[in-house]
Amino acid sequence: MTTERVTGMAYHAAGYDRQSEARKNQSATSPAVQRRNNRAEAERRARAGEDIVWVGHFSEALGTSAFRVEKERPEFERLLTACRRGQVNMIIVDYVSRFSRLEVMDAIPIVSELLNLGVVIVSTSEGTFRKGNLMDLIHLMMRLDAAHNESKNKSRAVSGAHSMAKRLGGFMGKPPYGFELYPLEVPNPDNPKEIIVIQKLRHARTKLSGPFKTEGDVLRQAANLFEADMGGATQNRRGEGNRAGSLNGICVGFRESKVPTRGQIVGKKTADSEWDPAALKRMLRDPLIAGFDRDPIKNDSGKVTGYRIKRDPVTMRPIELECGPVIPPAQWWKIQPGLDATGRGKGQTRSTEQALLSAMDRLWCECDNVMVGHRKLANPSKSSYHCKRGNKIKPGQHEGTVTINMIGLDDYVTRRVFALITTAEDDPETADIMAEAARRWGVLHEAPEKAGERSELLAERADAVRALEDLYEDRKAGGYSGKIGRRAFLKAEAEASMRMEAAEERLAELDESATPVLPIAEWTAREDGWDGDPIGEGTWWAKASTDDRRELIRLFVDRITVRKSNVIGSAPGKKAIIGPRVDIAWAEPPAEEDEDTQDMAA
């Protein structure tokens, strides 16, 4: 839009419109209606004899609010600039509330500037306001104040209603896929004679077209396909790179089978929506489908990035929905690691065979940098592990690189592990190592729902510890002074401590419920004709997959440290020097906290 500077006595009129949120109905405050009313007002004045030149519309993007100072209104700023440049001297709005909902004292400078510039403010519903008439200015300020108070009161009323509904167990927001809302009358706890209607969650009952009767059936099929794909039971779709059980593959199958999305069922604007891998992933990640209530996790901008399961503050057990789960909780927990491994639209990752010791936080160089595997397919005997250190060398570190023969190191570490296993009964010093290996075995092989709950509880405990640490740091910095501050500190400390202790108690319950027994007999079994080599032909190790072998190493080993060799090269035909260069740190239980919460508070 280009505008010329105002000359003579003509009014150069511009319309301004905005709407802070989309309306489902075609209300009189919609931007289209506002623009029509604004233009009609300019034309009416022109017909009445006023010299009017229509400059055009200044229309904010849908969702722009005039209530908050910090919210940007680019079109309003552009309109102000046009007024300051003398290109606009009449602003037409549908209602004054479209113009501003700031506090009166915040709005006065803007309004005063406009009126002093000779700009006439016209409300198609509330009158005309111009410079030189004090009553007009007071009238306008009263309108702005009324608009601001109306917005604040509406916000408070909505917030209060939401808080009450949530307090009474109502569901806030739109129901997710697989669910619907129904009204329920409950007594107001603050006034038992008053009845309040809240919205409760239940499984969606809408009948679908296509192969599935309900949205719940769709979710169950998606979960079943994804779970099967995690186990390698699904194949690539013909002519495509997507496996039938990958997120992409499931979405393609739903589209081909004409399975309707929620948008296709309920929305005009979303009637052409399609199944999308990212949306399906969100559905399968939602704890609600497992029957668990949840709270949203938001980033700094307020966008929901995930959900946290609600837990009883005393027992730390998940709070369950009254309507129950859509898919079995055990299945939901089982598919979460697979969903974690997927990107937007990418299927379950399937890596090629890894080296035995790399990429599992066990193999380290003497300089405290991780070592990585380098396979030579043409000559496997030359495969090696090497230090991943960059070009920067810290004082006291080795020069050059550190490498060690892969086959030699794999063989050395494996034989040390089996020597430990086979002599454990006769060596009391290995009891602690075996106990920790058994604990790890139990964690690895516990039921998916317990494994998932354990991860949640560990995160909850870590969050509570961080909250306590922040609390004590704030207190050391001078916060929480005085009687009121002391009470606030004690309350916050008690809440965080209760969360931490409850999580620890529940973790202890999970540990006690598991009775892990290491399958030593399976690992040490021998076939007929065995030649005595603990990892040779006829042994479990010889037949085990790389994943099973890596799991065994993780059970018994915490760290393998490799030192730089003092020998340059090696004589042809001689084995690489391994043992003198390698230190193995055996499995130890997780370190206990050195300080309890009382020490932290000191």
pLDDT in tens, 98-111: 665 555 555 667 77
If asked whether residues 203 and 143 sit together in one domain, one would say no
Q: Is the residue at 5 inside a domain?
A: no
Q: What is the CATH number of the domain that holds 261?
A: 3.90.1750.20
Q: Same domain for 211 and 254?
A: yes
**Secondary structure of residue 484 in the 3-state scheme:** helix
pLDDT tens digits, 394-449: 888 888 889 999 999 999 999 999 999 988 877 777 888 998 998 888 877 777 77
Reported confidence tier of residue 69, pLDDT bands at 50, 70, 90: very low
Q: Is 6 a domain residue?
A: no
Tokens (6 digits) for 18: 């905005």
Name the percent of the chain lying above pLDDT 90. 32
Domain check: are 249 and 173 in the same one? yes
Helix, strand and coil in the chain, % to nearest 5: 45, 15, 40
For residue 578, pLDDT over 80 is answered with yes
Q: Tell me: do 482 and 542 sit in the same domain.
A: no
For residue 213, pLDDT over 90 is answered with yes
User: Averaged over 442-465, what is the pLDDT?
Assistant: 77
Q: How far apart are CA 282 and CA 295, in angstroms?
A: 14
In a domain, 600, yes or no: no
Residue 80 lies in a domain: yes
- Mean pLDDT lowest among 130-139, 301-310, 361-370: 130-139
User: Which CATH number belongs to the domain containing residue 36 in this structure?
Assistant: 3.40.50.1390
Residues 183, 230 within the same domain: yes
Pairwise CA distance, residues 348 & 249, whole Å? 11
Res 468 pLDDT > 90? no
Q: Do residues 125 and 154 both lie within one domain? A: yes
Highest-confidence range of 298-312, 518-532, 575-589, by mean pLDDT? 575-589
Higher pLDDT, 193 or 534: 534
23 lies in the same domain as 144 = yes
Q: What angle do CA 151, 143, 133 make, to 5 degrees?
A: 160
Among the candidates 350, 372, 397, a domain finishes at: 350
- Domain membership of residue 567 as a residue range: 353-445+515-594
H or E element that contains 15: strand 11-17
- Asked if residues 204 and 180 have their Cβ atoms less than 8 Å apart, the reply is yes
Decide: 214 and 180 in contact? Cβ < 8 Å: no
What pLDDT digit, counting tens, does each position of 580-600 carry? 999 999 999 876 544 444 444
- State which of 513, 529, 548 marks the end of a domain: 513
What radius of gyration, in Å, describes the C-alpha atoms of the chain?
35
Same domain, 148 and 230: no
- The CA distances from residue 262 to 21, 120, 206, 246, 276, in Å, are 22, 48, 10, 21, 12
CA distances from 549 to 230, 414, 542, 586 (A): 20, 9, 10, 16
Report which residue type is found at 201: L
Percentage above 70 pLDDT, the chain: 79
Is residue 313 scored above 90 in pLDDT? no
Averaged pLDDT, 382-397: 86
Using one digit for the tens of pLDDT, what is the confidence trace for 314-360? 666 788 999 999 999 888 988 888 888 775 333 333 334 578 998 88
Same domain, 451 and 441: no
Per-residue model confidence (pLDDT) at position 63: 57
- Name the domain count of the chain: 4
In one-letter notation, the amino acid at residue 288 is L
Q: How far is CA 557 from CA 385, 503, 538, 542, 552, in A?
A: 17, 28, 24, 20, 9
Q: Are residues 462 and 522 in the same domain?
A: no
- At 172, list the tokens: 């806030």
**Candidate ranges 50-54, 391-395, 465-469, 496-500; pick with highest mean pLDDT:** 50-54
Quote the pLDDT of residue 26: 42
Q: What is the pLDDT of residue 146?
A: 67
Average pLDDT score over residue span 42-57: 93
Is there a domain that residue 81 lies in? yes
**pLDDT, mean of residues 495-523:** 83
What span, in angstroms and rounded, lies between the C-alpha atoms of 449 and 444?
A: 12
Task: Print the SS3 string covering 206-244.
Answer: CCCCCCCCCHHHHHHHHHHHHHHHHCCCCCECCCCCCEC
Q: Where are the beta strands (DSSP E) in 130-274?
A: 179-188, 191-203
CB 383 within 8 A of CB 406: yes
163 inside domain: no
Looking at the fold, whether 243 and 190 belong to one and the same domain comes out as yes
**How far apart are alpha carbons 595 and 505 in whole angstroms?**
18
In angstroms, what CA-CA distances link 442 with 330, 438, 445, 462, 552? 17, 6, 5, 22, 13
Tell me the backbone φ, ψ of residue 425, rounded to 5 degrees: -65, -30
174-177 LR contacts (CB < 8 Å, sep 24+): 175/201, 175/204, 176/283, 176/286, 176/288, 176/289, 177/204, 177/215, 177/218, 177/219, 177/262, 177/283
pTM assigned to the model? 0.48
- Mean pLDDT, to the nearest integer, of 530-554? 90
Is there a domain that residue 221 lies in? Answer: yes
Q: Does 187 lie in the same domain as 271?
A: yes
What confidence tier does 542 reach under pLDDT thresholds 50, 70, 90?
very high
In a domain, 4, yes or no: no
Residue that is last in its domain, among 350, 373, 393: 350
Mean pLDDT of the chain: 80
